[in-house]
Amino acid sequence: MEPLRLAELNPVQRRWALVRSGVTIVVAFALILGAYYNLPFDHLSGERSVVRLSVVVALVAAVFVWQIRRISVAEVPELKAVEALGIVIVVFLVGFSVVYLSMSHAHVATFSRPLDHTEALYFTTTVFSTVGFGDITPKTDAARLVVSAQMLLDLLIIGVVVRMIFTAARSRIAPAGAGRDSRPAPAE
């Protein structure tokens, strides 16, 4: 199947492609957030935060690789890239939320106040967006280290992952050698 640009689709095809992509993103968000709110993360110990952090990073990397593969075979790679970005980011945010939630439940003094599911997700999102309102702050060295790790990984997600996802989509669309100027060289 030859990949297409979104602009190459007729209006009806474009509308359906956008709807399918939107539904995919909404369903992925709902499933991931549903799992986050319904699975029992409260009982996890805070002592294994480094292990849990490693699992989150490995999971995000696996989801990223899976999404790059989806882009490489997509009919409309631009839309798959948007889906991929949304899915990788929500997995990243929920993963860190689980780590913060478990740290807070293990030791109440880990953050400026105990975190529930929503507060952990809120805190993770404010750190990711670099807003950091200051209403929730890490109070232990372990929490500060995990938040620092998230900040560094945020930069990696924003800088490298976004670029790689959209580069994968562009390279799927562009024929081999299309990066070069295809006009004939001027006669001398």
- Residue 147 belongs to a domain: yes
* Residue-range definition of the domain harbouring residue 71: 8-173
Question: What pLDDT score was predicted for residue 119?
Answer: 97
- Residue 182 belongs to a domain: no
User: Is the distance from CB of 128 to CB of 154 less than 8 angstroms?
Assistant: yes
- Residue 3 belongs to a domain: no
- Residue 132 belongs to a domain: yes
Fill in the amino acid letter for 126: T
Query: Over its length of 188 residues, how does the chain's per-residue pLDDT go in tens digits?
Result: 688 888 899 999 999 999 999 999 999 999 999 999 998 876 666 567 778 889 999 999 999 999 999 999 999 999 999 999 999 999 999 999 999 999 998 888 999 999 999 999 999 999 999 888 889 999 999 999 999 999 999 999 988 888 999 899 888 887 644 543 444 445 55
From CA 74, how far away is CA 49, in angstroms rounded?
A: 37
User: Is the distance from CB of 46 to CB of 114 less than 8 angstroms?
Assistant: no
User: Is the distance from CB of 29 to CB of 86 less than 8 angstroms?
Assistant: yes
Q: How many domains does one find in the chain?
A: 1
| C-alpha distances in Å from residue 11, one per residue of 7, 17, 131 | 9, 10, 39
- Residue 188 belongs to a domain: no
Question: Running DSSP on this structure, what letter comes out for residue 7?
Answer: G
- Residue 23 belongs to a domain: yes
Question: What pLDDT score was predicted for residue 48?
Answer: 72
Fill in the amino acid letter for 93: L
Question: What pLDDT score was predicted for residue 179?
Answer: 46
Question: Running DSSP on this structure, what letter comes out for residue 8?
Answer: G
Question: What pLDDT score was predicted for residue 6?
Answer: 87
- Residue 183 belongs to a domain: no
- Residue 178 belongs to a domain: no
